[in-house]
Amino acid sequence: MSLDAKTVTRIARLARIGLQPGEVETLGQDMGSIIDWVEQLKEVDVMGVDPMIGTGLAKPRLREDRVTDGDCRDKVLANAPEREGPFFTVPKVVE
Amino acid sequence: MSYRITGSTGEWEIVVGLEVHAQVVSEAKLFSGASAEYGGEPNTHVSLVDAGFPGMLPVLNQECVAQAVRTGLGLEAEINLFSRFDRKNYFYADLPTGYQISQFAHPIIGKGKVLVDLADGSTREIGVTRLHLEQDAGKSIHDQDPTRSFIDLNRAGVALMEIVSEPDIRSPEEAGAYLRKLRQILRYIGTCDGNMEEGSMRADVNVSVRKPGETDYRTRCEIKNVNSIRFVMMAIEVEAQRQIEVWEAGGTVDQETRLFDHVRSETRSLRSKEDAHDYRYFPDPDLLPLVIEQSWVDELKTALPELPEAKRARLEAEYGVSRYESSVLCVEQATADFYETVARGADARLAANWMLGDFFAALNRTGRSIEDSPVSAEGLRELLGLISNSTINGKIAKEVLEDMVETGDSASAIVERKGLRQVTDTGAIESAIRDILAANTDKVDEYKSGKDKLFGFFVGQTMKAMKGKGNPALVNETLKKLLSE
């Protein structure tokens, strides 16, 4: 199957990816075949099987509630495309 | 009495559910070791994890989990020993990773409840659907530059509890009472400071309307990020009004996110419809599911402080105060503690009376809080002791309290310094009264011919002559005796 143009455009917009008009159809076919391939899983009968949530039953490591990090503004801002004093700056966001 | 709004086609009922975002009290953030403290120089409470640098991994803060469990216990809610973190995907400049780590399918806390008190004295139970842990976003500042927004990530990654209520709320008053009660519980347990000005408690308000008797809900709108209880109540009113007008004009309400503008007292559509929420949640592959032990939950439960409902019931039983008095005294833990310190070793009813009256008035007048009260609990207790053992009368005690606030001196020191000890010498009282009666023979005659109300005049004159220090009971008694001679 192929994903329709509307769905492809919507997914691209949610992911903030700009598409050229010609790309919509190609991508629709590509994504469609990925979905088809994954759909094979539907052939397996999983009635009564709990969803698998991980490979091990390890518990997550938890951290103590202590301040051990931060205070590294120069590092944090080092790769900012644009900054102003202590802030990152971005094109104005208007609600 | 049910709350109803009257439209052109008759009465309408409102249906409200609240999503409260409460900032967790903790030292460090939910998944990083950066400080969670409010304020700070821009972008200093930020680690590379919070800034979304490649390869950085979140590590869950155990205390934030404990805080969520404590809150769940305070809401008498189900504690889920298994919960999981999901990514909620959206793009915004103050969300560096492009997703918020939240709990979607498996929240840590399930169904609970909040009991709210209404003005007419009735109590209602508002259901809590769930509570989950999630990260706060950073802050965008839009007013510093004409073409750019400034981003401060100090808040990015701070732990929030999102507390979702059932659509059980039926009036603006109930919404306000629910928020106040929730804040009180959070503050008692110490899991959120409840400071709405600093944004540590914010509410999203879901509103719909329907005709009384309808059993299904109509389409709701969500009003985002309302930051005071008063605004929540106002927003519900104006949004309900707007929806009623839409329905009555033959239209339909669209499910959408709206913004409350308190200056113009209206709600506005916030996001275009095609941008409707599509967060594409999926389990965060960086985090293992969270599994906690029942024994740990039990430990946390044992260590919980006394909660507002229990404290109030105990104050009523132990000290004989009224329900109204106990509810005022229990609004803040510190006030209840202060009261108990005063009431132990004093007349407990008198203590409640004085705290709700002259003592709170003194705090208001001086702009002080119970924590930095100009008069200590021990000081107030001493003052009340002087009333109870008849050293001073109630009227003089008010004057002494003012002096205590002013000078910080103890009640007994002030009584001695100013010579305010009450006169219980019947001879002195009798002689003062005889002088008053002799100077007002006309009024004495009027009184005797039936003008009973003049009794108060004689009491007043006597007290004035005695500079307020006469023992009121003795003055009354002696006056009655001499007037009937």
Q: Is residue A88 part of a domain?
A: no
**Mean pLDDT of the region B263-270:** 90
Residue B74 reports pLDDT greater than 90: yes
A67/B27 touch (CB, cutoff 8 Å), yes or no: yes
Give the separation between CA B174 and CA B164, rounded to whole angstroms: 15
Rg over CA atoms, chain B: 30
B61/A54 touch (CB, cutoff 8 Å), yes or no: no
Nearest chain B residue to A55 by CA: give it. Answer: B288
Average pLDDT of chain B to the nearest whole number: 92
* Chain A positions in Cβ-Cβ contact with residue B283 (cut-off 8 Å): 53
Residue B296 reports pLDDT greater than 90: yes
Residue B273 reports pLDDT greater than 50: no
Tell me the residue ranges of DSSP E strands in B153-200.
159-165
Of B61, B288, B289, the CB nearest to A65: B61
Return the minimum-mean-pLDDT range out of A85-89, B230-234, B247-251, B427-431.
B427-431
Query: Is A18 in CB contact (< 8 Å) with chain B?
Result: no
Give the separation between CA B384 and CA B377, rounded to whole angstroms: 11
Residue B25 reports pLDDT greater than 70: yes
Q: Is residue A10 part of a domain?
A: yes
Give the separation between CA B154 and CA B136, rounded to whole angstroms: 10
Give the separation between CA B114 and CA B128, rounded to whole angstroms: 7
Annotate B381-421 with DSSP letters as a single string: HHHHHHHHTTSS-HHHHHHHHHHHHHH---HHHHHHHHT-P
User: Which residue out of A9, A10, A63, A93 would a mutagenesis test of the B interface target, given it has the greatest number of B Cβ atoms within 10 Å?
Assistant: A63
Percent of chain B with pLDDT over 90: 72
Rg over CA atoms, chain A: 23
Say if residue B280 is exposed, middle or buried (CB neighbours under 10 Å; 0-12, 13-18, 19+).
middle
Of the pLDDT bands very low, low, confident and very high (cuts 50, 70, 90), residue B1 is low
Domain regions of chain B by residue span: 5-298, 306-418, 426-483
Of the pLDDT bands very low, low, confident and very high (cuts 50, 70, 90), residue B53 is very high
Q: What is the DSSP letter of B372?
A: G
Of the pLDDT bands very low, low, confident and very high (cuts 50, 70, 90), residue B451 is confident
Q: Nearest-CA distance from B106 to chain A in Å?
A: 12
**Mean pLDDT of the region B106-118:** 96
Q: Is residue A37 part of a domain?
A: yes
Q: Is residue A78 part of a domain?
A: no
C-beta neighbour count of A36 within 10 angstroms: 11
**What's the pLDDT at B455?**
86
Q: Nearest-CA distance from B128 to chain A in Å?
A: 27
* Chain B positions in Cβ-Cβ contact with residue A94 (cut-off 8 Å): 142
Q: Is residue A16 part of a domain?
A: yes
**What's the pLDDT at B419?**
79
Give per-residue pLDDT as tens, B211-246: 999 999 999 999 998 999 999 999 999 999 999 999
**What's the pLDDT at B271?**
63
**What's the pLDDT at B471?**
80
Structurally, chain A folds into a number of domains equal to 1
Of the pLDDT bands very low, low, confident and very high (cuts 50, 70, 90), residue B276 is low
**Mean pLDDT of the region B396-406:** 91
**What's the pLDDT at B421?**
81
User: Does residue B152 contact residue B42 with C-beta atoms inside 8 Å?
Assistant: yes
ipTM here: 0.85
What's the CATH number where A15 sits? Answer: 1.10.20
Query: Is B45 in CB contact (< 8 Å) with chain A?
Result: yes
Q: Which residue has the higher pLDDT, B471 or B96?
A: B96
Which pLDDT tens digits describe chain A residue by residue (95 residues)?
A: 788 999 999 889 888 889 988 899 999 999 999 999 999 999 999 998 887 766 666 778 899 999 999 999 999 999 899 999 999 999 998 75
Q: Which residue has the higher pLDDT, B462 or B162?
A: B162
**What's the pLDDT at B477?**
84
Q: Nearest-CA distance from A42 to chain B in Å?
A: 19
On whether the B426-483 domain is CATH 1.10.10.410, my answer is: yes
Q: Which domain holds residue A39?
A: 5-43
CA B466 to chain centre: 45
Q: Which two three-digit tokens encode residue B70? A: 């404590």
**What's the pLDDT at B275?**
55
Give the separation between CA B402 and CA A87, rounded to whole angstroms: 51
